[in-house]
Structure 1
């Protein structure tokens, strides 16, 4: 099981400051799928070899970069059959750009019987903003798909790449 985390309204960024990004995220997140901070995910990956990390963005976003060993599950074409090999008691972390789409997929996973689902707080943007690595098909990269110019303002580190 994951460690207990503060409620969404109490969550702070790594600098412990209630940023504009944190305020935005509180408007997007619902409490059904608990969040996990990037640093906590790093530690969880060390302790939990069976952990499944799911990238819930679009194919173009995933191709630009993703978390290491993340499985792609297309948000727009989500098919539960792609996860038939994942035991329902296995820990799962979902993410997207900021956490809104992954929250929706997390809720679907819970309805499918997955018992240990978390949403990466702030998505891949927060992950990269905190200096965590991302990868493409060739290996480590600094490129991140910002989803759109509107959402891309929250990506403070990394190279914005729309291709």
Structure 2
């Protein structure tokens, strides 16, 4: 009925989310989904760190991404301090926090994927599950899942159960 309002509202919410993340993490360098897609077509590739929870990662993730939901698991991967790294989560908040922690630990080429997997997926870019192309992204919860373009995903009820805060 009010579908003509959904797209502009979603766009406004995205701008608000991105502005809040930039304000909360001013030292974190963002990278756009377009820039990352271009970078992934060239070598050397950045290391991709998926900061989401295991159940989110299991539904789908960017091809080649490593599941590292916290600083400890990221450090344990054996990353070099000067290695190019791109972290992402659902919308960018959790990954911005990890990028900030990696910067504080001495990593110099670490970036936050602005819009993270939600924007990547909404733009029609490939995500995988068990090495095969996936057709959906875990919505994190029903509120944040509204930032996913509805035609791009149909989450199961188990996937939209409330989780703790996005932080």
How does the TM-score come out when normalised to structure 2? 0.79
Tell me the SS of whatever aligns to 2:143: helix
| Other-structure match for 2:128 | 135
Per-residue deviation, 1:158:
2.8
Q: Which has the larger radius of gyration?
A: 2
Q: Deviations over 1:76-115 (max 9, x none)?
A: x74344232x211111000000000000110111111110
Give the one of 18, 35, 45 matched to 2:30: 35
Q: Deviations over 1:45-65 (max 9, x none)?
A: 122334100000000000000
- Taking only aligned residues, the RMSD between alpha carbons, in angstroms, comes to 1.8
Correspondence 1:1-163 to 2 at 5 A: 19-29=12-22, 30-75=25-70, 78-84=72-78, 86-156=79-149, 157-161=152-156, 162=159
Tell me the SS of whatever aligns to 1:149: coil
Paired with 2:26 and 2:82, the residues of 1 have a C-alpha distance of: 20
Aligned residues, how many?
144
If each structure's helix is expressed as a fraction of its own residues, which one has the higher value? Answer: 2
**Contact 2:84 / 2:110 at 8 angstroms: preserved in 1?**
yes
Indicate how the Cα distance of structure 1 residues 145 and 47 shifts in structure 2: closer, same or farther if over 3 A, else same.
Answer: same
How does the TM-score come out when normalised to structure 1? 0.81
Tell me the SS of whatever aligns to 2:41: helix
Paired with 1:142 and 1:125, the residues of 2 have a C-alpha distance of: 12
